[in-house]
Structure 1
Amino acid sequence: GALAMATALRQLLVRYRGLVVGSPALATQLEGGFRTASYLIAGHFADSHELSELVYSVSNLLVLLNDGILRKELPHSLLMPLPQHQLLTWLTVLEHLEVFTEMCSARLWGEGFRWLIITAIQLTKASLRVLLLLRYKTGIHAPTMAPLDRDGHLCREDPQGEPHGEADNRWCSSDTFTGHRSRRVVRTLNRTSSQHFHQWGTPQERVQSSPGGAQPPPTDLSKQEVVAEALYIARPLVHLVTLWIWGWRSWKPWLVSGILDVTSLSLLKDTKVMTREERSELQRRTFALLYYLLRSPFYDRYSETIILFLLRLLADHIPGAGLVAHPLMDYLPVWQKVYFYNWG
């Protein structure tokens, strides 16, 4: 009955954990397989957009699950406090599932329920981020938990070049190969880097740049920087309120949202004392301002015509470009209809 099913499920989880710990490279290949499948599914049959988004969400959740399993193998000094880790985990799960949840709620229960779900998700995300900012002093952090640097953390070496622990010996024994004549150290193909943390240096160089793989503590934010981060957190909620007041086709929600994003970035201008991760997050937010070119009403008035013209030009004059351009042209209307694609 239920007890037997629970026991079987527990045994399955134990086996899967052993598989991930024993072969992180295989776990990475599994994650990549789901991600590739999501791209292949899109646009090929009815309801393919929802199924493609589900498979893509599963790939992201697999990364989160596998990273959680592998993090338990790290020294305690490399782990964040448990409550903070739990909040970041829930925030990451919401980020990975929000698009699929929105698409399914719209299809099953209509537009009214869709906007109710969008509002609930944005409120929950804002609450979690405020807790992380004010209670746990996480500083400037990315919307999701950073994927584990599986090369940098699971393959740690001491200054004499010896790996730490039996698990590290298993994971790192064939990480590099030294040429017999040139004595040049090169990476083997047995274990590739995570796509999020690919570095071109040898493992020895990585250890020198980040001893022990430890993450630096977040920067203590000044009052001005706390206000800037609060503006960034509040922007999605303010945008929803302005949409409710002025409507989807009005320029006012677009302008108010843009002003909040630019103001937040301008108040976070002292990057010299920030960690590398925080500077990277600021760069990501700056680059994300380009999304305003794809957001209505700017997209409806200006961008759509230019983008479609360029895609048709590529498809007509560059051999093979149509394989990418035509599906992209077909997907743009779907992209515009999904709130979390544009404003997440």
Structure 2
Amino acid sequence: MDSEEQTQELEKDTQSRTGRFSASHELSELVYSASNLLVLLNDDILRKALSRTLPMSLSQQRLLTWLSVLEYVEVFTEMAAAKLWREPGRWLVVVLIQIAKAILRILLLFWYKSGIQTSPPITPLDRDTQLYDREQGSMVEDVSFVGQRSGRVVRPLKSASSLQSQLWSSLSRESKQREQEDHLQTSPTHLGLQETIAESLYITRPIVHLAALGLCGRRSWKPWLISGILEITSFSLLSDTTKTLNRRERAEMRRRAFLLLYYLLRSPFYDRYSEAKILFLLRFLTDYIPGVGLVARPLMEYLPIWQKIYFYNWG
């Protein structure tokens, strides 16, 4: 039996073992995408209610919103396209989504000078902090008055307990200080020529990888190598500016460093080297460590599905 027949047999075996999970997996992805879209919409409504706009123009905010929507629905869209139109439709959808994301990111980088692109593009709202600030602010406004001459805010002692009377005056200052710190932490870092080239390489890496896949085939090492070289080059060029980055950008750099480990799980490296070792380790842990099988067995069944979804391991 040649390698092609072995691959076909392996795919049939994988389908038989994981087929029962496919429908529930697609449903879970639909729920995940819908929940993230609802959070995005709800955050926008809350920001308007709290008068906390993002520190950017309306047009830039719209681009970030569309980019967030694409990131939230890309996996489900790929799975739905594979279900409806098989492999040709699936790869067409993957290419279109990656091109759209690259165009939006290029516009953000060069037109709006948005610095290092983060994921997710719009940070979810910290509801506990924001709503607490609003409640405290409204409490101060309800029970205090402003002097006409001095402009000082005065709160009647009878409306507060002894502890509250000591703390109420600092609430407004703390809220304003937090707003200023958040603004500084979300302001993009200016990128020089080297950093701009590095970010451009990172943005265009998916397009180059897909083009290499189309030219060389999915079993070729060239797409894997080209993508890895582009990503490592981008990360190396940006590593010199890590100290000057804001909090979100540093978190993004840590995320990119961690995602480099995905190359161990990406084909053809995974098919040739990683798969046997990972499955052996999971089986060993399942057989000799009590309780690990509850996690390891589903993981072993899930790995083939994860491998087939482009936006899981290459997105």
TM-score normalised by structure 1 residue count: 0.71
8 A contact 1:239–1:256 mirrored in 2:
yes
- Unaligned runs of 5+ residues in structure 2 are 1-17, 143-170
- Match for residue 123 of structure 2 among 135, 146, 151: 146
Distance 2:275 2:87 in 1: 24
Q: Provide the C-alpha distance between the structure 2 equivalents of 1:168 and 1:68, rounded to a whole number of angstroms.
A: 25
Hey, what does 2:214 align to over in structure 1? Answer: 244
Q: 2:271 aligns with which of 278, 300, 318?
A: 300
Q: Report the CA distance shift for 1:80/1:155 in structure 2 as closer, same or farther (over 3 A).
A: farther
Alignment check: 8 A CA contact 1:54 1:100 kept: yes
Give structure 1 regions of 4+ aligned residues with deviation exceeding 4 angstroms.
42-46, 76-79, 166-169, 206-209
Task: Mark the structure with the bigger radius of gyration.
Answer: 2
Larger RCO of the pair (alpha carbons < 8 Å, separation 6+): 2
- The match for 1:310 is 281
Distance 1:231 1:168, change over 3 A: farther
- 1:168/1:113 CA distance change after superposition, 3 Å: farther
Q: Secondary structure at the match of 1:214?
A: helix
How much has 1:110 moved relative to structure 2? 1.1
Structure 1: tracts of 5 or more residues without a match = 1-41, 170-202
Give matches, 1:1-344, under 5 Å: 47-76=23-52, 78-144=54-120, 145-156=122-133, 163-165=136-138, 210-212=178-180, 214-216=182-184, 217-268=187-238, 269-344=240-315
**Counterpart residue identity of residue 70, structure 2:** L
The Cα RMSD (Å) is: 2.9
Structure 1 residue 271: deviation in Å? 1.6
More helix, by proportion: 2
Q: Is the CA contact (8 Å cut-off) linking 1:239 and 1:253 kept in structure 2?
A: yes
Return closer, same or farther for 1:44/1:156 CA change in 2, 3 Å cut-off. farther
Cα distance in structure 2, aligned partners of 1:168 and 1:342: 51
- CA deviations 1:124-174 (Å, max 9, x no partner) are 0000001111111110121322111223333338xxxx93236999xxxxx
Q: What one-letter code is carried by the residue in structure 2 that aligns with 1:313?
A: F
Q: Cα distance, 1:254 vs. partner?
A: 0.5
State the AA in 1 paired with 2:220: S
**Matches of 1:124 and 1:91, distance apart in 2:** 8
Whether contact under 8 Å (1:153, 1:213) holds in the other structure is no
